[in-house]
Amino acid sequence: MTKAEKVFYIVCVILFGILLVSIFRLQVIQGEHYKQVAESNFVRIHRITATRGEIYDQKYRPIVQNIPSHNLYLMASAIQDLPALARFLELHFELSPEELNQAIFRNRFRSYEEILLVDNVAFEKMLSVSEYLNYYPELSFRVDSTRQYHYPNHFTGYVGRINEREYDQHRDEDYSINSYIGKTGLERYYEVLLRGKDGREIVQVDARGRSLGLFKEGGYEDPLHGLSLVLTIDNDLQDFAMRVFPDNVKGAIVVSDVRTGGILAYVSKPEYDPNLFMRRISPEIWEDLNNPNKPLLDRVIHATYPPGSVFKPITLGFGLHKDIVQRDTRLSPCIGGFQVGNRFFRCWEHKGHGRTNAVEALMQSCDVYFYDLSLQLPLDDFKAYALESHLATKTGIDLPNERNGFFPDTQWYFKTFGQNIGIQGHKVNLSIGQGEILTSPIQMNAYYSAIANDGIWIQPHLLKQTVGRAILTRDEVDKLEKIRLPLDNDDLKTIQDGLYAVCNGPKGTARSVQVPGATTFGKTGSAENSMGDLTHAWFCGYIVTDKPEIAVTVFMENAGGGSAMAAPIARQIFDYYMGNIEDIKRAAPVPAQFRHEEIPPQNESQDQIEPTESEDGIEEMPEQDVQVEQ
């Protein structure tokens, strides 16, 4: 062996010895230490929550905005003294030990993901509590955002913490255990647009959760913020409609643009404040929200009622459509009622109206004319005609859980009352919007809007367009349905003339609903019901200047006569609209944060397309006058 080879051999032995010593020291002497270090160093993926889109009226005035909120989070894996933590949270946040244990148990497989314990903590409370957090390193405050709803309403809905059922349902859609999700209203219907997509940051931390500064590149994904919604709602008109509705009366108001189907005002009374759901709800508040007046019930779309006389244009339209009557056809004379079999059906006017034609029957709301007409209308065809007119079926408004309403057919009567039931008497009731028939205020508004719009029914909607990272019109989000009512021009003109006579004729039942600068058309209704001694009060109508403008529906539960109660409210809304028509119709400049070279025109398109046939709604059996979607 040469000298050089000996040197090389000795060096190798020394290096190998050093390696063995190092391995022995790392694995034996300091093995336990490095084991703990390895187990406490983790790569964590921090979620960067996307900003939820806001909601604005047609002039970009806020309806729902994001505001900062201080939230308390828990890192379950870092809990040092669970009983002490439970006592602390119960003392300062009224969070019971059971609630804490449930939160930890539900997230037992996500021990290194922060749990949102308390949201919307008051700033003063956060300051007073923060000094104790040194004793509870598992707790931390973080500034997030929450929703602020600018006025009580039903159509916006509200957001809330995702629950177990929702998380299981949407776990593949990138929701976290701390995510907020739309619960009702527009917040739920347009959840996909409003939510956006959360970003990611990859961070390697030590045992104390401190970043080790790795992943300098490629460890960050920007959040994709949600789209904001611009609605067809006009905040000023909405505010006026809310104020003009009497206190302590339950009901609804719908104001729509006849030419576009956009909803300008949407009122359900009594209303509730969605901001209540942005914090923990006390038992007292929850009890108040579930009082007998049902403030959580959206009476525009979630409740259905007998329509009374506002339904008579549909009955007349079917008679005209079948050529059973024409404009000047006079049926049996009204002597205060009408005999059908062994029953005498009374007219609301006990003195009678005499012999009337179609226009006069609508003007005076003569029940006998429609009683007589109904005897010649096949029931099942009558139902099909009503559904084709988009009554007693969903309108497809962009809100969740809209109700169908109800229109009985022959089989339903046989199934409910037996094969020997007499259909004629029931059909007489249906002809004047009584009996088993149920409709919602939004359905009636859409029908009268179609009458004003030369027979073109347009799907009612609240969304005008989105703004933010993408500009989408309502049709681009989901194409609006437009159909022609089953009325030819002459039949439509007969109904329009009848509605004109109601508000302007010498014996019209709504002569009080006249406004300067416009021509008023409409119909009153007083619907008997099983909910109380007083009738439901209805008014449905529209105004025309040089062209059709707005359709207004006013509904009041157990309020009395439609002429006395609902019609005056509609007149005030028509007056307000005409007095502020230029301001309401004036296009607002696009705010700087929403400016985009592809922003579409400010006014919704009023071009009418060829109508298409719509599908019939799903029949539902009536259980009571007000039906609520479960």
Write out pLDDT tens, residues 134-145.
888 888 888 888
Can you tell me the distance from the alpha carbon of 156 to that of 18, in angstroms, rounded to the nearest whole number? 72
Q: Hey, what domains does the chain have and what are their CATH numbers?
A: 45-231 (3.90.1310.10), 235-585 (3.40.710.10), 595-630 (no CATH)
Calculate ∠ Cα 287-290-295, nearest 5°: 130
Nearest to 445 by CA among 306, 569, 555: 555
Q: How far apart are CA 514 and CA 565, in angstroms?
A: 15
Q: What is the pLDDT of residues 64-83, one digit of tens each?
A: 999 998 889 888 878 888 98
| pLDDT for the residue numbered 8 | 74
What is the pLDDT, as a whole number, of residue 402?
97
d(CA 165, CA 109): 17
- The per-residue pLDDT for 158 is 96
- Position 109 confidence tier, pLDDT thresholds 50, 70, 90: low
Percent of the chain with pLDDT over 70: 88
For residue 377, pLDDT over 90 is answered with yes
| 53 has a pLDDT exceeding 80 | yes
Average pLDDT over residues 392-402: 97
For residue 206, the model assigns a pLDDT of 56
- Mean pLDDT in residue range 430-449: 97
Q: Is the pLDDT of residue 430 over 80?
A: yes
State the pLDDT at residue 309: 96
- Looking at the predicted structure, is the pLDDT value of residue 383 above 50? yes
Write down the pLDDT at residue 353.
94
In this predicted structure, the answer to whether residue 528 has a pLDDT above a threshold of 60 is yes
pLDDT at 413: 95
Task: Check residue 38 and give its pLDDT.
Answer: 55
Helix axis angle, 312-321 to 379-388, nearest 10°: 110
Q: Give the whole-angstrom CA distance, residue 138 versus residue 514.
A: 67
Write down the mean pLDDT value for the chain.
87
Contact residues for 69 (Cβ-Cβ < 8 A; gap 6+) = 119, 120, 121, 143, 144, 145, 146, 278
Q: How confident is the model at residue 616 (pLDDT cuts 50, 70, 90)?
A: very low
> Is residue 403 pLDDT above 90, yes or no?
yes
Integer CA distances (angstroms), 386 to 187, 340, 380, in order: 31, 23, 10
Structure-token pair, residue 534: 């007083």
Mean pLDDT within 84-91: 89
Judge whether residue 442 has pLDDT over 60.
Answer: yes
pLDDT of amino acid 121: 87
Average pLDDT over residues 273-295: 90
Could you tell me the pLDDT band of residue 42, with boundaries at 50, 70 and 90? low
Q: Alpha helix (H) ranges present in 269-357? A: 283-289, 312-321
The residue among 584 and 6 whose pLDDT is bigger is 584
Q: Supply the pLDDT for residue 45.
A: 64
